[in-house]
Amino acid sequence: MAEAAGPSIGGSETSPHMCSDRQPSRADVVLSLIDYEDLFADIDKHPEGDVRHRFLRARTKRARYVESLVFVWENKVATLEQDQKAGKEDANGEGFMNRYETAMDRLDEALSRYSRVNEEDSKAVNAPVVEPYFMDNVHRWFMEKSGRGIRAPNGTMRSTYGSFGDPVSQEYMALCDWNKDFFHTLILNKLMIPFNEHIFTPIQTSYNSLLGRNLDHHTPGMSGRTLDVLVTTSECALAVCCFAASVTLLYNLETTKTRMVAAPFASFACVAPVVFLSKDAKIIYTLMAG
């Protein structure tokens, strides 16, 4: 996730494209894409931090418009059929057949379009929510770096995404769900993040103040990638302890009979943690057990 802060592209504190109106121009969008190359590189490593808009309001309008097209061509087909039944149209006439086939083709196109719209909108509605951890340590972290200005990566106002620590709106979605393994989540939320916020960051801030460093932007403490590594290391250490405890227990039992009785329970204690480990920790655990 967020790595050490560096100067923005071009090296200036205020990029020229950050001073236009609230509505982004074409230049705003292009220059924002260039300016946030570091964010895109970080998202490449952590796709969970790729924050997207659901655009539910816009999707609803689009769906209603496409619905109207379906109604139009459905009514057109029904009208032609009624006219033919009433004797106003000759079914064998070339003009009627051309109009009927055209209307049916347009109805098919509208229905196919409507099905595509519904499928896309359903995926957007059911997409995973953005975890506050990734919103703060990926998206907001890079947007709050010194010299970023007022624009977000898509050229819109940066303030629409909120500030570090703010709740994440349901308006945003993630392309993939977060790793919610039990041990990973427990260690991260109950140990690493509190340690980072209440111990490491204040010490880092005091240290920078002592050295006379003027940091006018949010001090992130440990980067998200560092937290990930520490959490995975803690998971592996916990798994090693369970494995070692099982082996030690069997080794210290004196009689063979006692070992045979304890072996199933020790084996269960050795394997049980694997269920709660993250993908990275499972790989390390498997190599160790092998």
In one-letter notation, the amino acid at residue 26 is R
Distance from first CA to last CA of the chain, Å, rounded? 31
The predicted pLDDT at position 77 comes to 95
Mean pLDDT by 10 residues, the chain (290 residues): 42 41 81 91 82 95 98 96 87 86 97 98 92 84 83 90 88 80 70 76 79 58 66 78 76 78 75 72 70
The whole-number pLDDT of residue 214 equals 61
What was the pLDDT predicted at 17? 42
3-state secondary structure of 50: coil
| Spatial separation of the C-alpha atoms in residues 248 and 132, rounded to whole Å | 41
Amino acid 70: pLDDT: 98
| pTM exceeds 0.85, yes or no | no
Domain ranges of the chain: 56-125, 179-290
